[in-house]
Amino acid sequence: MLPVQLIRKKRDGGTLDDAELREFVAGVTLDVIPDYQIAAMLMAIFFRGLDDRELATWADAMTRSGDVIDLSHIARAKVDKHSTGGVGDKISIPLAPAVAACGVAVPMVSGRGLGHTGGTLDKLESIPGFRVDLPVEKFAELVDKLGVCLIGQTERIAPADKRLYALRDVTGTVESLPLIASSIMSKKLAEGIDGLVIDCKVGKGAFMKTIENARALCALMRAIGQRAGKRITCVLTDMEAPIGRTIGNSLEIRESIEVLRGGGPVDTRELTSVLGAEMLVLGGIAKDPDEGRKRIDKALADGSALEVFRKVVEAQGGDPRVCDSPGSVLPKPKHRDELTLKPGRIVAIDSEALGIAALVLGAGRRTKEDAIDPSAGLVIDAYLGEVIEAGAPPSVMLHHSLSPEDGRLAEARAMIENAFVIQPADHPAPSVRSSRILEVIR
């Protein structure tokens, strides 16, 4: 059938058979279907959706539009983690080596920053020399040798997704849950994994603002994975406040190394431990999440996770001294500016605004052509429910290389100040969750 016939069929509420779906995705991959027809199909899917069978076939066709990495020669179970993106989300960096230290291989193909959320690749590249553009052969070799490797999507991993994603971004179809689910899962299924843990962020600082939408997205991703014969666990996590104390690439590497040394902020450690435990369960190393958490915590406490990370940094071209003295290795900003919030009780924090402020300082990209300043970002010492006293130390440190006259600096400062909702000190304290974990779907 001609592309326009398939578009009409989906537009009018029909279901596409497997051959039609595969033919359309092949046309996307081979660049024989023009952008305007792809955009029309994306909009038809946005309004009409895809049923479970259609979605599984669409995702599988995207996965097979390029190389599917063969890791069958690796004896260990192979389990990855995917996060839907959050402010200060550096969890992959301590998580992957900790899981590998426990005996499960982690073949991790990560992404770059998207909107107000930072990307694992950008964080890793703040380590001088660290390469994320390794060929697939080297990727497989390091997964076998070290138990983990962290790279970016190559030209041959799910190339259909690259074209579809670029068009979704400019056609108002990013929010389609079937398109989000197939985009994520097509790349993950191409990694050669046995199982996947999905960290689905929920809240003001996440793409999924409500737990209902998060559950719906997880149901779609689980359906795709299960039809492909993969074990999938979804962990819904709170994103009402930034994760940890840092936002920005080299700053988040520092915090990750703190966790790998057995320290770091409580919430960053908790997410590393809980997600790692679920990965160990899927990999058959732990009989249940409690045992998994104990194993992950031990790997962080005894230095074995840090040692795996050291080997990964060296193998991928980075300076392994970052594990011992990050301050002497990581790039430094030209300026560190203090920002003191007004006295009172913090009753709400707009994580998204803080993520955008870090982006404005240089930690992210406004356009895909923008260069990232790896040293830029925020260090935050102000938490939900806390009372800020008059004369208290600075609440936020701005790391940047902008000139004092640069309008972006004033823009970022205003965003940060407005991100904190502060009431009088005697205002009732807001409900503050003791855990980031909202729900686990196995």
How far is the C-alpha of 295 from the C-alpha of 273, rounded, in Å?
9
- DSSP type of residue 360: I
Contact (Cβ atoms closer than 8 angstroms) between residue 245 and residue 379: yes
Indicate whether 75 pLDDT > 90.
yes
Give a three-class secondary structure readout of 127-161. Answer: CCCCCCCCCHHHHHHHHHHHCEEEEECCCCCCHHH
Domains of the chain by range and CATH? 3-49 (1.20.970.10), 79-326 (3.40.1030.10), 333-423 (3.90.1170.30)
Tell me what the mean pLDDT of segment 142-152 comes to. Answer: 96
Quick one: pLDDT band at residue 114, thresholds 50, 70, 90? Answer: low
The helix/strand count (H/E) of the chain reads as 17, 13
Say what the pLDDT of residue 43 is: 98
Say what the pLDDT of residue 368 is: 61
Say what the pLDDT of residue 204 is: 80
Say what the pLDDT of residue 155 is: 81
Burial class, 299, CB count within 10 angstroms (exposed 0-12 / middle 13-18 / buried 19+): buried
Return the closest-CA partner of residue 412 out of 427, 391, 398, 425.
398
How far is the C-alpha of 417 from the C-alpha of 235, rounded, in Å?
31
Quick one: pLDDT band at residue 307, thresholds 50, 70, 90? Answer: very high
Report the interhelical angle of 35-48 vs 3-11 (nearest 10°). Answer: 20
Quick one: pLDDT band at residue 116, thresholds 50, 70, 90? Answer: low
Helices (H), ranges, 228-350: 249-260, 266-282, 289-301, 304-315, 326-329
Contact (Cβ atoms closer than 8 angstroms) between residue 282 and residue 234: no
Return the closest-CA partner of residue 249 out of 329, 363, 349, 402.
363
How far is the C-alpha of 262 from the C-alpha of 272, rounded, in Å?
11
Catalytic machinery residues = 82, 161, 168, 183, 187
Indicate whether 123 pLDDT > 90.
yes
How far is the C-alpha of 105 from the C-alpha of 94, rounded, in Å?
14
Tell me what the mean pLDDT of segment 154-178 comes to. Answer: 89
Return the closest-CA partner of residue 60 out of 178, 227, 232.
227
Report which of residues 113 and 330 the model is more confident about: 330
Say what the pLDDT of residue 71 is: 95
Give a three-class secondary structure readout of 118-130. Answer: CCHHHHHCCCCCC
CA trace torsion 165, 169, 173, 174 (10° rounding):
80
Return the closest-CA partner of residue 428 out of 392, 388, 387, 389.
387
Percent of all residues in the chain with a pLDDT value above 70, rounded to a whole number: 98
- Angle (CA) 88-63-274 rounded to 5° is 35
116: its two tokens: 């107000």
Handedness of CA 394, 396, 398, 404 (dihedral sign): negative
Report which of residues 125 and 169 the model is more confident about: 125
Q: Write the DSSP assignment of 30-53 as a string of letters.
A: TT-S-HHHHHHHHHHHHHH---HH
Taking the complete model, does pTM exceed 0.85, yes or no?
A: yes
Tell me what the mean pLDDT of segment 188-197 comes to. Answer: 95
